[in-house]
């Protein structure tokens, strides 16, 4: 029997014998570019555009998932074909067109982050959405990767024409000097970013509560744990619903599969686990479409409960034909 190497070399000889040598066409430079990062789907009469703000390649260490042995984290990631070195963290926002309003949910970094982020503006333009026409901005929580994009480095509001609706619980926490001073210096970045972004227009913000519609057809639901005011959203139109999970479940390949794993950034870890399971149970039972801010773009699909967690079924635009 031929082994694999013999087979390959025999095949190469056969191919060389069969064909006259061809000129090489490898002189063109590699492009390295992708399609613009937007993805359109509908929920009832609403049109949703998932929008990619970019990603950051970095390192993960044993602090990322502190209640699991780092070797087991790496083993799991390898089993799911998730890059480990470098580890890629990505950021995905969305716009809901309700027919009457254009609603942006979370905002990425604008020009305040790594050069591989801040792509929302270009992707909005590629998707045919004028940033100036955004009527309402909804904020899931006050972590920098979700709010930096609301105010650019020059200090201007990026969506100046929009009403900004924020979770009252996160406003109370992250805008408090007292709360900031109670944590170690290394943990103060999120407080400082919240101050930078929101202090100049604090009086214009609408602080809102769970259980209410924050925009027509978009209801805020309690999903604290990641932050004290973390908010997920149910987008409803007709008989269709979309659950915007936000950061209540980080990358579903890791945290839907293993809902009891603690994310280092979750401020109240047991509460975050409880919230994650509550949301994913609901999505699985009701077969709701979901989005996750840190899933691989387009960051939308379905989850299904298993004996140990939830399977994740990402969606592609070819599912929509
Ligand atoms: Zn985040």
* pLDDT tens-digit readout, 133-191: 999 999 999 999 999 999 999 999 999 999 999 999 999 999 999 999 999 998 999 99
Confidence of residue 224 (pLDDT cuts 50, 70, 90): very high
User: Residue 252's pLDDT band (boundaries 50, 70, 90)?
Assistant: very high
pLDDT single digits (tens) 12-27: 555 555 567 777 777 8
Return the number of other C-beta atoms located less than 10 Å from residue 285's C-beta.
10
Structural domain contains residue 50: yes
- Structural domain contains residue 85: yes
Q: What is the pLDDT of residue 25?
A: 72
Chain mean pLDDT for the chain = 93
Whether residue 208 lies inside any domain: the answer is: yes
CA of 28 to the centre of ligand 1 (A): 38
Domain residues for the domain of 164 are 37-320
Confidence bin at 257 (pLDDT 50/70/90): very high
- What's the pLDDT score for residue 5? 58
Q: How close is the Cα of 200 to the center of ligand 1, in Å?
A: 23
Domain containing 187 — which CATH number? 3.60.15.10
At 51-64, the pLDDT tens digits run: 999 999 999 888 99
Q: What is the pLDDT of residue 80?
A: 94
Given a cut of 60, whether residue 1 has pLDDT beyond it is no
- In percent, the amount of the chain with pLDDT more than 70 equals 94
Residue 1 lies in a domain: no
pLDDT over threshold 70, residue 48: yes
Mean pLDDT for 205-230 is 98
Between the CA of 145 and the centroid of ligand 1 the distance, in Å, is 5
User: Cα of 143 to ligand 1 centre, how many Å?
Assistant: 6
- pLDDT tens per residue across span 189-205: 999 999 999 999 999 99
Residue 31 placed within a domain:
no
- What is the per-residue pLDDT for 8? 57
Burial class (CB in 10 A: 0-12, 13-18, 19+), 116: middle
Q: In which band, very low, low, confident or very high, does the pLDDT at 75 lie, cut at 50, 70 and 90?
A: very high
Q: Separation of 23 CA from ligand 1 center, angstroms?
A: 49
Total domains in the chain come to 1
User: Is residue 244 predicted with pLDDT exceeding 60?
Assistant: yes
Q: How far is the CA of 140 from the centre of ligand 1 (A)?
A: 9
Distance (Å) from CA 56 to ligand 1 centroid:
12
The CA 201 to ligand 1 mean position distance, Å, reads: 22
pLDDT at 22: 73
26 found inside a domain: no
10 pLDDT band, cuts 50/70/90, is low
pLDDT reading at 233 higher than 60: yes
The pLDDT of residue 28: 85
| Residue 18 within any structural domain of the chain | no
Cis check: omega of the bond before 77, within 30 degrees of 0: no
In a domain, 221, yes or no: yes
Instruction: Give distance in angstroms: CA of 114 to centre of ligand 1.
Output: 15
- Centre of ligand 1 to C-alpha 294, Å, is 7
């Amino acid at each position: 029997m031929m082994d694999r190497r013999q087979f390959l070399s025999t095949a190469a000889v056969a191919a060389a014998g069969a064909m006259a040598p061809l000129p090489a066409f490898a002189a063109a430079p590699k492009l390295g570019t992708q399609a613009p990062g937007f993805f359109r789907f509908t929920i009832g009469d609403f049109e949703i555009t998932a929008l990619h703000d970019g990603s950051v390649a970095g390192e993960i260490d044993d602090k990322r998932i502190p209640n699991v042995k780092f070797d087991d984290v790496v083993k799991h990631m390898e089993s799911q074909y998730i890059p480990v070195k470098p580890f890629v963290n990505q950021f995905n926002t969305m716009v809901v067109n309700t027919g009457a309003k254009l609603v942006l949910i979370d905002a990425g970094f604008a020009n305040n982050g790594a050069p591989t982020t801040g792509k929302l503006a270009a992707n909005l333009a590629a998707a045919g959405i004028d940033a100036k026409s955004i009527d309402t901005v909804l904020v899931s929580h006050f972590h920098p990767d979700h709010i930096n994009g609301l105010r650019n480095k020059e200090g201007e509001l990026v969506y100046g024409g929009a009403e900004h609706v924020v979770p009252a619980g996160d406003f109370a926490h992250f805008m408090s000097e007292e709360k900031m001073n109670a944590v170690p210096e290394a943990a103060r970045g999120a407080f400082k970013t919240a101050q930078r972004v929101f202090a100049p227009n604090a009086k214009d913000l609408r602080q809102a509560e769970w259980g209410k519609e924050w925009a027509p057809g978009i209801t805020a639901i309690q999903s604290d744990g990641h932050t004290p005011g973390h908010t997920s959203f149910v987008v409803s139109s007709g008989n269709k619903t979309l659950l915007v999970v936000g950061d209540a479940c980080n990358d579903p390949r890791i945290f839907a599969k293993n809902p009891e794993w603690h994310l280092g950034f979750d401020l109240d870890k047991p509460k975050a686990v409880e919230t994650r399971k509550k949301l994913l149970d609901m999505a699985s039972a009701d077969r709701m479409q979901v989005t996750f801010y840190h899933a691989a773009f387009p960051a939308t699909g379905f989850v299904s409960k298993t004996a140990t967690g939830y399977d994740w079924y990402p969606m592609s635009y070819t599912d929509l034909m």
